[in-house]
Structure 1
Amino acid sequence: MAVEITSKIVGYRIKQQGQPAPAPELPDEDPLTVRIPSRPEGTLEAVSEKISYVGAEGRKKVYLLVSFMPVEGVIGGQRVVIERPVEFFFPSGQLSSEHQWITATMRSLSLAARGGYVTQAVADLRKVAWDKGLVRCGMNRWNKPMFHDSEVAAIAWSIQQILYRRGFLDQDGHQVPVETLVARYAHRMQHGHAWQPEEPPAAEDSAGASSSGEASGGPATVGTCPECRGDLIMMDGCPTCYAGCGWSKCG
């Protein structure tokens, strides 16, 4: 039987009688960018988190749900599996903003997650600003309060932290290499639990860092927070908790 050769010949090898043909090598398929057509039926593992932040309208607490699923791919001719976020859900009635815009944002994030570009989508949300002043939400790696340009940016940062603690992003919101994701999923299958980041500094260590920061020119403390026992500093003429719990003497 004649076989037409349609590509350039780059080498040849004489087949020995009775020698089995080599198995075809699988083409690479990055599991980070594999498109997931829709949310699969059935149950998915999810992380539900309570987020607290302080803005122009006072302290708010909201809940956020992120679902994950294993995704297959091919790297170096070998089949691999990683875990990816595929769905974001923000229950209604938590903010004074119109729920239609919140729902639209979560649906867009879910589409981005299933399309393989959720890291960029969340990073873009962190750039959203509003005209109501800064929003304080969370603590950085040095146990100092984080300030964001809007509620949207604060929630986007909180999403990044969920994905960081799940092992999908690094602490700065950057994508973890796919080889690392493969190793972390294999660790989970072997040990029965997901990868966990390193523990934050102990409370006494952070207190010592705060004291040293004050000595080197940091904000002067004016008392102790009655809620979390953190330091109070003067902000806009009002004693305010510097530890980020949101307490303020002025309400």
Structure 2
Amino acid sequence: MAVEITSKIVGYRIKQQEQAAPAPELPEEDPLTVRIPSRPEGTLEAVSEKISYVGAEGRKKVYLLVSFMPVEGVVGGRRVVIERPVEFFFPSGQLSSEHQWITATMRSLSLAARGGYVTQAVADLRKVAWDKGLVRCGMNRWNKPMFHDSEVAAIAWSIQQILYRRGFLDQDGNQVPVEMLVERYAHRMQHGHAWQPPVDEPDTSPAAGAVEPIGGAAEQENAAKKPEGSGPATVGNCPECRGELIMMDGCPTCYAGCGWSKCG
């Protein structure tokens, strides 16, 4: 449209293009602590684990299922996705007398997982002790048997190992930083398979503060120097944990507490 100029032009200015308003910054939302109200409908990816342990009541085998799902959040102003455990399931009938307590514990763990504090909940279960002696379950990073204060502690340690192999915890049961979880989930989406723990050569030297397993060289050396009458007489080594065998009720029994007995 033409415009007629009827007065003298004394100056001019080029109209600048208006700048777009900056996008609002997304509020921070830690995907590790985002509360999940309930288990979502449909199918979830799950890990099924067969747990075997030896205690005062002999060898036991149980099965455990842990379900996972992707969870969104905002870290550093950008949307991210990680994978979190959301449900723990212990099939019924495995430990009939304690089934109600096992079910209650699994439901509590599931609530903790959906509430964002499952790492602390599982670590706390490892502190549970009983009066029936140690329970042997699994091997540590030095390929030595692990001994736990109770069956509950043994199962809790096994749960930590499931979460470690899934990339959610580190090998000591500590929470992996959210940035690393984001990278591992992105790696999975890109390559089509989950993150795998690195395979390291077993370290034969015990770490600082580690306790040398019963039956080791130092223990055998001390046993040779032990004065007569200072403890029960040993009759060999346990085939399960290589600990000392002593005579109990006329039967060679493991003194280390793994539960092995020649008489069954």
On whether the aligned pair clears a TM of 0.5, the verdict is: yes
Deviation at 1:250, TM superposition (A): 3.5
For residues 102-144 of structure 1, give each alpha carbon's deviation from its aligned partner in whole angstroms, at most 9, with x where no partner exists: 1110000000000000000000000001111110000000011
Structure 2 runs not aligned, ≥5 long = 209-218
Which 10-residue stretch deviates more, 48-57 or 228-237? 228-237
Equivalences, count: 249
For residues 34-61 of structure 1, give each alpha carbon's deviation from its aligned partner in whole angstroms, at most 9, with x where no partner exists: 0000000000000000000000100000
Aligned pair in 2 of structure 1 residues 226, 128: CA closer, same or farther (>3 Å)?
A: closer
Distance 2:4 2:129 in 1: 61
Please say if residues 233 and 242 of structure 1, whose CA atoms lie closer than 8 Å, have aligned partners that are also in contact: yes
Aligned pair in 2 of structure 1 residues 163, 243: CA closer, same or farther (>3 Å)?
A: farther
Aligned pair in 2 of structure 1 residues 143, 181: CA closer, same or farther (>3 Å)?
A: same
TM-score where L is the length of structure 2: 0.74
Deviation at 1:98, TM superposition (A): 2.3
Max Rg structure:
2
Deviation at 1:18, TM superposition (A): 1.3
Aligned pair in 2 of structure 1 residues 23, 51: CA closer, same or farther (>3 Å)?
A: same
Distance 2:53 2:255 in 1: 13
Please say if residues 112 and 118 of structure 1, whose CA atoms lie closer than 8 Å, have aligned partners that are also in contact: yes
Aligned pair in 2 of structure 1 residues 210, 242: CA closer, same or farther (>3 Å)?
A: farther
Please say if residues 71 and 84 of structure 2, whose CA atoms lie closer than 8 Å, have aligned partners that are also in contact: yes
Distance 2:7 2:155 in 1: 52
Aligned pair in 2 of structure 1 residues 57, 245: CA closer, same or farther (>3 Å)?
A: closer
Which 10-residue stretch deviates more, 206-215 or 26-35? 206-215
Please say if residues 169 and 176 of structure 1, whose CA atoms lie closer than 8 Å, have aligned partners that are also in contact: yes
Q: Let me know the Cα RMSD of the aligned residues.
A: 9.3
Distance 2:85 2:44 in 1: 10
TM-score where L is the length of structure 1: 0.77
Aligned pair in 2 of structure 1 residues 12, 59: CA closer, same or farther (>3 Å)?
A: farther
Same amino acid, percent of matched pairs: 92
Deviation at 1:71, TM superposition (A): 0.3
Please say if residues 137 and 244 of structure 1, whose CA atoms lie closer than 8 Å, have aligned partners that are also in contact: no
Aligned pair in 2 of structure 1 residues 173, 208: CA closer, same or farther (>3 Å)?
A: farther
For residues 226-248 of structure 1, give each alpha carbon's deviation from its aligned partner in whole angstroms, at most 9, with x where no partner exists: 89999999999977899999865
Structure 1 runs not aligned, ≥5 long = none
Distance 1:29 1:133 in 2: 44
Distance 1:10 1:234 in 2: 115
